[in-house]
Amino acid sequence: MIFANTMNSASIAAKRYHAELGAGYELIEARQHAFQATMNPLINSLLAVGLVSLPGMMTGQVLSGVSPLIAARYQILVMCMLFSASGIGAVCFLY
C-alpha cells in the first residue's frame, strides 16, 4: 500500500511539474504547484477516513475482537505512514 501510494504521488508530481514548466512557470514555483497537487488527494482521503468509509485494517481488527479505539489508533498510524511516504516520494522526485 505504501509503495503503491508513493508511486501514484510521484507520477502526479511528475505530470504536474512538467505541465507547469510547459506553462512557463519557474522551477521553484512549478515544484510548489506540483507538490500541492500531489498532496491534495491524500489530504482528501485523510479527511474522509472513518466518516465516509471504514478502512480495511480497522474493520478487520474490530471484527476479530480488538477494541475499536485500538483499531482506530492503528488505522491512524497506517494513514500517517501513507501520507508521509507519499510526501517524501514526491519531494524526492521534485528535488
Q: What is the pLDDT of residue 72?
A: 83
What's the pTM?
Answer: 0.80
DSSP state of 1: -
Half-sphere exposure of 4 (CA within 13 A, CB side): 1
Q: What is the pLDDT of residue 59?
A: 81
Q: What is the pLDDT of residue 55?
A: 73
Length of the chain: 95
pLDDT averaged over 10-residue windows placed end to end, the chain, 95 residues: 91 95 93 94 82 72 88 85 93 93
Domain ranges for the chain: 2-94
Q: What is the pLDDT of residue 14?
A: 95
